[in-house]
Structure 1
């Protein structure tokens, strides 16, 4: 691997002065019938109108993508002599629960062709920069099209989206003072549920398979304090996946967070522009210099070949796979258990006879009352647990705080509900036993289905860590 300092020293001779004003041009381009809007940042004039420069397309991270987020990088790259395109991310076909990396890669390629068609750009020297989600998208574009001259990533994950997301949530929740069973619930059954339900699009995307098909020069960077992507782990994955690519440079940006901007701990952002009320963090000049110096080396036909091993940044914990591949941990089995559990709990109220024909109704009133409590508490716990996981993943956890003993208030309430389900199961079984002579026919069948569901509920709750501290 090559250090950030090493890259800068090797390519600094290609950097251009950054003291002149920039020009911008608004552009539009098409992909699959959708019009995308962007801005091209032009390097300062040199007096040579025939000069054709390298170009770069900046590709978004996850979520809404106004181009304003990438103005600092666009200005820095343009000042270093690189024609730079930033564009508004598509909203059609992209949402929290719907997006396609291949479609986003095609958007980026359409932007690339826009730059390649410009008279002031050398079409053979146009590459892509991808941030976070863009670290999955840009390699796909490069693997698809040889027109991509080079690849730069910042905060790209070497793990699947679901594995990266659960690792990020673990960091955020720990930072909020949360500990214990909720962390395991998010990392394993929560991640499994989000994948199985399709609420986390592209959850199983394999970045390794894509990286192996990338033959262009690659510069992969991570912030030293990246808390959203496992930087040290991802760097090793990139290095192994790109082992056959002789033009791979891997480095870390000191004092930087996930986006390569300044931070003290990976959770705050120091200075920089405000976009939608949120600071971006100041762009460290050294970070931009590293990238632009490397691009000019590649454009000059001299991509770095050096491999200087450097210590990886400290990573508190490794990311975790959401399943171990056992037969009982497959999507089909998990879905079947959940369906049987819900149907079993619903069976009691849904099969209530319209006319009470039970002559011993007064004598069985107690068991029926406990059965109703068991049904309501069981359904409430199951639905509440699943809804809470969706909330945590969709809100990325920043609103969660420890309420007591490292637990959030919703998680504490779900654990209490789980204990109540266990107690009402025992109470229902006990009252049935006491009134067993009077419990006959349809009521017996209804109680049997209910207690079978309750029996399934216990291992389900254990798998969700609801009965663990």
Structure 2
């Protein structure tokens, strides 16, 4: 009997110890943030998505060239990167446009990102309005599912930026960037490294870290699918698991650090059918960061479109047309 009591006591003590260990592990694994309903909704001042240029000195409305004002020309070039690497790129420019004109460098979202397959319609539309554009291939030899270095990627894009700034007819001081999705993280690194950029256009920006963005996207998906709250509450815990040993350090990219560099005129675009991005929360954070940096020249636009500002499907599908007002 005594032996049985001792065994029971030891079993109880071991169970308590295991419970304490598991509780400690659970607490350590718990995220430092939770997914909660967003209530600080953005109130639109107008449903008109047109953008009007204004003279900063006088406040007078400026008449700027519109899409289709110029015929365009394509030039295929090679951009030299560090380590003997190269990428292909396409320059589109307006024919017979005035010299010292604006220019725009394009930064890809996630995926392969070939210059011949991405941004063709947007880049050509800009060129037809008098803006020289450059779309480089995305460097892929150091970009995988397990490893992505946004600082290194910004350094690579800077090589294309320098070529664009020196392109005939381009004004160095009026050269800016257009980035989409994952590329907007790289864009904020680039704006920190090159604060003299004339403008930044961020389309479908995740804004927060990759870990938080994945949590938001998964939670939105489960909510739309009608999943119970208990299931949705598991998502922050799953996405908070350590990923450093797997090489997924980019999931913890310090997005807050780099978005402080948005000191130049900023345009933010979201599609309201994009459930993977923080279309209101992200906009709030970007506007706040820009304002804190002394930048009040911020424009926010929403479109009835998907993640790539295209219509015809809520999913990212090749060949879809741009939202007509975009």
Query: TM exceeds 0.5?
Result: yes
CA shift, 1:257, in A, is: 1.9
Structure-2 change in CA distance of 1:156 and 1:4 (3 Å)? farther
How many residues align structurally? Answer: 273
Q: Which runs of 5+ in 1 are unaligned?
A: 270-277, 288-469
Aligned equivalents of 2:114, 2:106: Cα separation in 1: 12
- Deviation readout 1:402-441 (Å, 9 max, x if unpaired): xxxxxxxxxxxxxxxxxxxxxxxxxxxxxxxxxxxxxxxx
Q: Could you tell me how far apart the structure 2 residues matched to 1:108 and 1:166 are?
A: 29
In the alignment, structure 1 residue 165 sits paired with structure 2 residue 214:
yes
Q: Which residue number corresponds to residue 72 of structure 1?
A: 121
Give unpaired runs (5+ residues) of structure 2. 1-43, 55-61
SS of residue in 1 equivalent to 2:63: helix
Is 2:93–2:133's contact at 8 Å kept on the other side of the alignment? Answer: yes
| Higher-helix-fraction structure | 1
Residue 88 of structure 2, aligned match among 20, 34, 37: 37
Distance (whole Å) between structure 1 residues aligned to residue 70 and residue 174 of structure 2: 23
105, 111, 116: which is aligned to 2:160? 111
Give the Cα–Cα distance (whole angstroms) in 2 for the partners of residues 82 and 29 of structure 1. Answer: 20
Partner-residue secondary structure (3-state), 2:179: strand
**Residue in structure 2 matched with residue 27 of structure 1 by the alignment:** 77
1:206 aligns with 2:254: yes
CA–CA separation in structure 1 for the residues paired with 2:130 and 2:123: 11
| CA–CA separation in structure 2 for the residues paired with 1:151 and 1:2 | 22
Displacement after TM superposition at 1:111 (Å): 0.8
**Structure-2 separation of matches of 1:154 and 1:127:** 14
- The answer on 1:220 being equivalent to 2:268 is yes
Identify the residue that residue 231 of structure 1 maps to in structure 2: 279
| Residue of structure 2 equivalent to 1:5 | 48
In structure 2, the residue matched to 1:16 is 66
- Report what 1:254 is aligned to: 303
The match for 2:12 is none
Deviation at 1:254, TM superposition (A): 2.3
Q: CA deviation at 1:60?
A: 0.7
CA RMSD between the two structures: 2.5
How does 1:36-435 map onto structure 2 within 5 Å? 36-46=87-97, 51-67=99-115, 68-175=117-224, 178-179=227-228, 181-185=230-234, 187-193=235-241, 195-243=243-291, 244-262=293-311, 267-268=314-315, 278-287=317-326
Q: Is the 8 A contact 1:56 1:127 kept in 2?
A: yes
> Paired residue for 1:352?
none
* Equivalent-residue separation in structure 2 for 1:147 and 1:9 (angstroms): 22
User: For the residues of structure 2 that align with 1:163 and 1:176, how far apart are their CA atoms?
Assistant: 20
Deviations 1:1-45 (A, max 9, x none): 876736524467213350654210011112222212110011233
Q: Describe the shift of the 1:79–1:2 C-alpha distance in structure 2 as closer, same or farther (beyond 3 A).
A: farther
More strand by share: 2
SS at match of 1:29: strand
State the shift of 1:183 in Å: 3.4
Output the CA distance in 1 between the equivalents of 2:209 and 2:230. Answer: 23
